[in-house]
């Protein structure tokens, strides 16, 4: 690898030993920058083009989660891997929802971390290439030269669906972990049934969210409608405090499909859509809307959304009435 081709990694950790460990691990293959605090990290980030950030959660001045939010607000395409000594599921879920790509627990295995960094940077490079593809491109496959660069992954257009439980953190605090986990299981069951019946592939559950993908955007929308109908029927039998309300986002675009996961800007934009949807709502991008034969019906309406970070610049967003 040429020196100029090396990716630039920013390590943010207040422990000298951790910084030294990362330096030994990474110095032969990457350009390494260091920051001992959140304020120093922001300064380094502002003055350097960084490809990846290894970010500690417990910093002396700015909490790592707050720092992650500031990175995402400044540059939504920043790749961040959280590093912490605390195995906290709620914090991990929050970090992933805010845009973190991975969550590493100290002490870590060197080879595992190196593999995560390598694969994450590969996916970032392809994600940037995928984002450059014209929105008018209707071909289901990427050009052969791009595909050959990432031969072990199958690159194609997919509809990505995210669900998200509204108010799950409050539910956990009010009723405890056992009741909370039972609520998450019901959410998984009611969502996965509709996904499977509509030929979707359930990729994974991330805390109180489910991620799936479909070959056909119409089937993704049908699945979303059935999910909301499932929860509506469920809630009709429950008291207000026992009800489960979800929001759903769907985007259609080019993604990297692996055996156990999917990647690409199509995933990021679907996650953005679900984050701005309200309780019991379904938000779809114009890419999905344009692929639906009966999208001109009154069930599909242009939504007025507030996109503070500009992630959806150039996209129209539609709500789907159930």
Question: Strand 80-84 to strand 31-35: parallel, antiparallel, or no bridges (unpaired)?
Answer: unpaired
Q: Is the separation of the CB atoms in 317 and 283 below 8 Å?
A: yes
Q: Is 80 exposed, middle or buried (0-12, 13-18, 19+ CB in 10 A)?
A: buried
Find the CATH number of the domain harbouring 78: 3.40.50.2300
Instruction: List the domain range (segments joined by +) for residue 107.
Output: 3-130
Residue 261 in any domain: the answer is: yes
Q: Is the separation of the CB atoms in 292 and 218 below 8 Å?
A: yes
Q: How many domains does the chain have?
A: 2
pLDDT class for 154, splitting at 50, 70, 90? low
Residue 136 in any domain: the answer is: no
Residue 135 in any domain: the answer is: no
Block residue for tokens 């507030």: 306
Find the CATH number of the domain harbouring 278: 3.30.70.1230
Which pLDDT score, from 0 to 100, does residue 227 have?
97
Shared-domain flag, residues 23 and 124: yes
Shared-domain flag, residues 274 and 313: yes
- For residue 225 the two structure tokens come to 């409608």
With 60 as the cut, is the pLDDT of residue 143 above it?
no
Shared-domain flag, residues 196 and 290: yes
Shared-domain flag, residues 97 and 164: no
Alpha helices of the chain — where are they, by DSSP H?
A: 16-26, 38-47, 64-74, 89-98, 110-131, 144-149, 168-197, 217-235, 265-276, 286-289
Shared-domain flag, residues 173 and 122: no
Shared-domain flag, residues 94 and 152: no
Which pLDDT score, from 0 to 100, does residue 135 have?
44
Q: Output 299 or 136, whichever has higher pLDDT.
A: 299
Residue 288 in any domain: the answer is: yes
pLDDT class for 229, splitting at 50, 70, 90? very high
pLDDT class for 102, splitting at 50, 70, 90? confident
Block residue for tokens 């395409």: 77
pLDDT class for 139, splitting at 50, 70, 90? very low
Q: At which of 107, 130, 153 does a domain end?
A: 130
Shared-domain flag, residues 12 and 41: yes
Shared-domain flag, residues 112 and 61: yes
Shared-domain flag, residues 69 and 187: no
Which pLDDT score, from 0 to 100, does residue 310 have?
59
pLDDT class for 305, splitting at 50, 70, 90? confident
Shared-domain flag, residues 175 and 287: yes
Residue 137 in any domain: the answer is: no
pLDDT class for 78, splitting at 50, 70, 90? confident
Q: Is 230 left (phi over 0), alpha (psi -120 to 50) or beta?
A: alpha
Which pLDDT score, from 0 to 100, does residue 252 have?
93
The H-or-E segment that residue 56 falls in is strand 52-56
Q: Is the separation of the CB atoms in 26 and 32 below 8 Å?
A: yes
Among the residue ranges 116-120, 239-243, 308-312, the one predicted with the least confidence is 308-312
With 50 as the cut, is the pLDDT of residue 282 above it?
yes
Q: Output 204 or 154, whichever has higher pLDDT.
A: 204
What SS3 state is found at 27?
coil
With 80 as the cut, is the pLDDT of residue 314 above it?
no
Which pLDDT score, from 0 to 100, does residue 317 have?
92
Q: What is the DSSP letter of 299?
A: T
With 50 as the cut, is the pLDDT of residue 35 above it?
yes
Residues in Cβ contact with 49 at an 8 Å cutoff, skipping those fewer than 6 apart: 8
The H-or-E segment that residue 283 falls in is strand 282-285
Residue 174 in any domain: the answer is: yes
């Amino acid at each position: 690898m040429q020196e100029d081709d090396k990716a630039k990694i920013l390590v943010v950790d207040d422990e000298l030993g951790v910084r030294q460990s990362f330096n030994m691990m990474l110095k032969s293959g990457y350009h390494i920058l260091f920051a001992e605090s959140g304020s120093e990290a922001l300064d380094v980030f502002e003055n350097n083009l960084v490809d990846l950030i290894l970010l500690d959660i417990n910093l002396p001045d700015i909490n790592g989660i707050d720092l992650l939010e500031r990175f995402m607000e400044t540059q939504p395409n920043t790749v961040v891997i959280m590093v912490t000594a605390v195995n906290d599921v709620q914090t991990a879920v929050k970090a992933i929802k805010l845009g973190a790509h991975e969550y590493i627990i100290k002490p870590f295995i060197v080879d595992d971390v190196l593999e995560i960094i390598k694969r994450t940077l590969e996916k970032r490079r392809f994600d940037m290439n995928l984002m450059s593809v014209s929105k008018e491109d209707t071909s289901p496959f990427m050009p052969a030269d791009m595909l050959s660069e990432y031969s072990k992954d199958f690159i194609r257009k997919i509809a990505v669906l995210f669900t998200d439980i509204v108010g799950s953190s409050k539910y956990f605090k009010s009723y405890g972990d056992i009741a909370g986990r039972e609520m998450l299981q019901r959410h998984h069951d009611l969502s996965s049934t509709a996904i499977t019946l509509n030929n979707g592939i359930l990729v994974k559950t991330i805390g109180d969210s489910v991620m799936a993908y479909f070959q056909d955007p119409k089937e993704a929308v049908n699945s979303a409608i059935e999910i909301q109908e499932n929860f509506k029927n469920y809630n009709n039998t429950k008291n207000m405090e026992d009800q489960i309300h979800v929001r759903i986002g769907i985007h259609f675009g080019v993604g990297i499909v692996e055996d156990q996961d999917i990647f690409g800007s199509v995933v990021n934009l679907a996650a953005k859509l679900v984050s701005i949807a309200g309780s019991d709502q379904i938000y779809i991008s114009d890419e999905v809307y344009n692929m639906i034969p009966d999208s001109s019906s009154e069930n599909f309406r242009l939504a007025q959304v507030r996109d503070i970070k500009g992630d959806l610049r150039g996209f129209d967003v539609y709500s789907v009435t159930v």
